[in-house]
Chain A
Amino acid sequence: METKFGRIKVLYPKQRLIDKIKGHVEALNAGLKEAIKPGRITIEYPRERRELPDNFRGFLLFDVDACISCFQCAFVCPANAINMRGAPNGRYYPCIDYTKCIFCHFCADTCPRGALHRTKIHDVAFSDMDEMLATTEELLKPPEMIREDKYLVKYEIKDGDIVLVKEETVVELAERPKFEIRPAKVSACAHPENCIACTLCVMTCPSNAISTKVENGRRVLIIDPKLCTGCGLCVKECPTCALALIER
């Protein structure tokens, strides 16, 4: 392989009669070697299951009390699979339509509170598409699924070759990974002179942090920093960009 500043000329195997016969013999004993000592790497799925890493992107679980219904998961989903649905307490919680979900887990990465977290459930088949719309209530606990696996198979490389290590364990698919809550900001009015008192922020704030009342001809708006979860919806909703997120 003569290499001149980074290019190799590809070498063609010689094709004289003697090389052809040698080629045939090589091919035959490659097959024979494999037939005598097979290098099998098959995972017998219904009985064995492949070991999946912790950040595997499978079905999603939802944790209601962590959610601040900030709509970020619905907005970021490339396949528009997450729709929010009104809950009895007036707020909106996500429902995932698994007929559209592409398991890219942008939503799990976006959620500032880690309310949507990953599980290792992925081998599922549904008989009709209406069952696949998981509303908020159905996202809280992992779905019961038919599991026939008795072994767990690990891919390991020992002295240069793949070895499938089989363990006799039925692995737990849906434990909740730890997630450090990000220190959230607080919403505040940075340009009060721009405000046109349209109270859109009051109507949109999921945690009722902004309250308003009319006193002698002037509308007063108050932000309660303790209630504010820093979801940023009011900042986005304000038509004249009067609000802003500041450090707590």
Chain B
Amino acid sequence: MSEACYLKWDVELPERPIKGVKYFGNLKEFVIDSGICSHCTTCANICPVRGITAGDKPIDFPNWEELCVDCGACIRVCPRWNYVPLNGMGEFKEMVAAKSRRFTGQDGGMVTEIIASALEMGVIDRAIFVGRDDEWKPTIVHVKNIEQLEVERVRGTKYSFADVIVELRDAVFHTEKGVGVIGTPCMVSGVRKLQKTVRRYHDRVKVVIGLFCTENFYHHQLYSFLEEKGVDVKKIAKTDITKGKFIATMESGDTISIPVKEFEPIVPSGCKVCQDFSGVESDVSVGSVGSPDGFSSVIVRTDVAKDIMDFIRKNDYAELGEVKQTVIQKLVDFKIKIHPYPPKKKE
């Protein structure tokens, strides 16, 4: 942070394809309406007048004609603006399967483990998790101490959109040491772009965890779809997608599994163009694919994640195992195959 203070400074403006319209008009035209918006809510985070709304419906800016201040920040941070799809495995330092001894999460509980040990190390002083209420609607929880992670509802993945990045804005301005973020690959690329445009995010967001992701859903679409299939939402104890099937285990113990192909009609358009399976730009990617049952496979990409994993090994917080890289590679290529870009015009 330069101590020098300027009375005159300038900022680079993004290009404006449609001349007369405000920047959000362009974003709406080229990203949202053209269907490639991945609902990563980064624009809702940066919008100075907090006009862009996210939540459980597509991104929108009510009455943007007057309220938008035409600053272009949303375009500069949108990962899908001049979209170059990221795919493949990306470079990584090591890849290992691990099972946390302290927490039980979706599979190995490694996401919770990494955040807990990062908190212990002091790399970050808060992290943004996605909790849920009775109807599995995602709620945002700022985790600042380890006890909060004991709450069962905070751990485990929720297969629906949540405004994690919108909450990042308050977290970044209140934190001292740093913030930990967990998100799907599109959110990860959103955070990276945000870090490039606003220096404060670069200094304050220390740990970005990417999750293996084939596609994500709107909450109301996913759960009305499950209601039709006869699943009582209130009684679901755990949801999981493994081996091409969506498995919902009830509190009463019995499980209902639905092939993923049947979810095709409710997959949002943004996910159809995304080829990044494991979040190549994240510090560490975690997922259930390619690791034995009860384990999650961890792909460590940057040295920040490296120190955390060494800390976990040193304190033996997690049981390590062997990960089958070929299975992950197969899924990575599968995602590139099914989500071509530019998308073939469906007749």
Direct contact of A and B (CB under 8 A): yes
Q: A-side interface residues toward B, CB under 8 Å?
A: 188-200, 203, 214-215, 217-225, 239-241, 244, 246
A193 pairs with B199, CB closer than 8 A: yes
Kindly state the separation between the CA atoms of A199 and B9 in the bound complex, as whole angstroms: 12
**B197 contacts across to A, CB distance below 8 A:** 196
The A-B contact count (CB < 8 A) is 82
Known: A189-B5, A222-B8. 8 other contacts (CB 8 A): A188-B5, A193-B198, A196-B11, A218-B13, A219-B10, A220-B8, A221-B10, A244-B5
**A196 contacts across to B, CB distance below 8 A:** 11, 46, 48, 71, 73, 76, 197-198
Pairs A–B under 8 Å by Cβ, sample size 22: A189-B5, A189-B9, A191-B2, A191-B199, A194-B198, A194-B200, A196-B46, A196-B197, A196-B198, A197-B11, A197-B13, A198-B48, A198-B71, A215-B10, A219-B10, A219-B11, A223-B7, A223-B8, A224-B7, A239-B46, A240-B198, A244-B5
Q: Given A198-B48, A246-B5: A218 and B200 within 8 A (CB)? A: no
Q: B-side interface residues toward A, CB under 8 Å?
A: 1-3, 5-13, 15, 46, 48-49, 69, 71-73, 76, 173, 197-200
Pick from A193, A217, A239: contact of B13, CB below 8 A: A217
Kindly state the separation between the CA atoms of A219 and B11 in the bound complex, as whole angstroms: 5
B73 pairs with A198, CB closer than 8 A: yes
A199 pairs with B69, CB closer than 8 A: yes
**B13 contacts across to A, CB distance below 8 A:** 197, 214, 217-219
**B12 contacts across to A, CB distance below 8 A:** 217-218
A192 pairs with B46, CB closer than 8 A: no
Pick from B2, B11, B15, B69: contact of A195, CB below 8 A: B11
B69 pairs with A191, CB closer than 8 A: no
B198 pairs with A189, CB closer than 8 A: no
**A203 contacts across to B, CB distance below 8 A:** 69
Pick from A195, A215, A241, A244: contact of B9, CB below 8 A: A195
Pick from B5, B9, B15, B199: contact of A221, CB below 8 A: B9
Kindly state the separation between the CA atoms of A189 and B10 in the bound complex, as whole angstroms: 11
Pick from A188, A217, A241: contact of B200, CB below 8 A: A241
Min distance, Cβ B24 to any Cβ of chain A, angstroms: 12
**B173 contacts across to A, CB distance below 8 A:** 241
Q: Find the A residue at minimum CB distance from B200.
A: A194
A200 pairs with B49, CB closer than 8 A: yes
Kindly state the separation between the CA atoms of A29 and B6 in the bound complex, as whole angstroms: 82
A188 pairs with B6, CB closer than 8 A: yes
**A198 contacts across to B, CB distance below 8 A:** 48-49, 69, 71, 73
Q: Find the B residue at minimum CB distance from A238.
A: B48
Q: Find the A residue at minimum CB distance from B70.
A: A199
Listed from nearest, the 7 A-B pairs whose CB atoms lie closest are A198-B48, A198-B71, A188-B5, A197-B11, A192-B9, A193-B199, A196-B73
Q: Find the A residue at minimum CB distance from B202.
A: A193
Kindly state the separation between the CA atoms of A194 and B8 in the bound complex, as whole angstroms: 14
Kindly state the separation between the CA atoms of A191 and B204 in the bound complex, as whole angstroms: 14
Kindly state the separation between the CA atoms of A163 and B197 in the bound complex, as whole angstroms: 74
Q: Find the A residue at minimum CB distance from B15.
A: A217
Min distance, Cβ B93 to any Cβ of chain A, angstroms: 29
B5 pairs with A190, CB closer than 8 A: yes
**A199 contacts across to B, CB distance below 8 A:** 69, 71
**B11 contacts across to A, CB distance below 8 A:** 192, 195-197, 218-219, 221
Pick from A190, A200, A221: contact of B69, CB below 8 A: A200
Min distance, Cβ B284 to any Cβ of chain A, angstroms: 27
Q: Find the A residue at minimum CB distance from B12.
A: A218
